[in-house]
Amino acid sequence: MAPVESLLVWTLAGLGVVVLLRRSRAASTILMAAALVATTAAGHALWSARSATRQRSADALAASLPQPTVEGGYVSSDACRACHPTEYATWHRSYHRTMTQPASARAVRAPFAGETLVAADGRSYR
């Protein structure tokens, strides 16, 4: 959870505790305020753990993907833009620009959920 989100969650929880305790100092109200704080703490811990897991997963994926390199005289497509703006624009609007990107949920647009694909040789893939 980002620091601003944490601050907002804990501020709202604190306001809830203040409102509850201003109304009454009965044992049940104090218990409700304590439950609110405990629930907020548990939710915050779970959210933070889930966010950390997602970040580690994203970092591992990024580390496993090919990275642009300038070794061996290779350059990225951005180097072409300055000298060949028309060709670059045509290429950028085409599917050729996206054909080498990693297959991710954002990049794959076909509905592959539960689909069975059959190859030309008759083999099925799921």
- pLDDT, tens digit, for every residue of 52-61? 899 999 899 8
pTM over 0.75: no
Chain centroid, CA 125 distance in Å = 28
The two structure tokens encoding residue 22: 């201003």
> pLDDT at position 66, please?
74
Mean pLDDT of the chain: 82
Give one DSSP letter per residue of 43-75, joined into a string: HHHHHHHHHHHHHHHHHHHHHHS-----GGG--
Tens of pLDDT, residue by residue over 18-71, are: 888 888 888 888 888 888 888 888 888 888 889 889 999 989 988 887 776 667
Q: Could you tell me if 37 and 13 are in contact, meaning their C-beta atoms sit under 8 angstroms apart?
A: yes
Taking residue 20's Cβ as centre, other Cβ atoms within 10 Å add up to 19
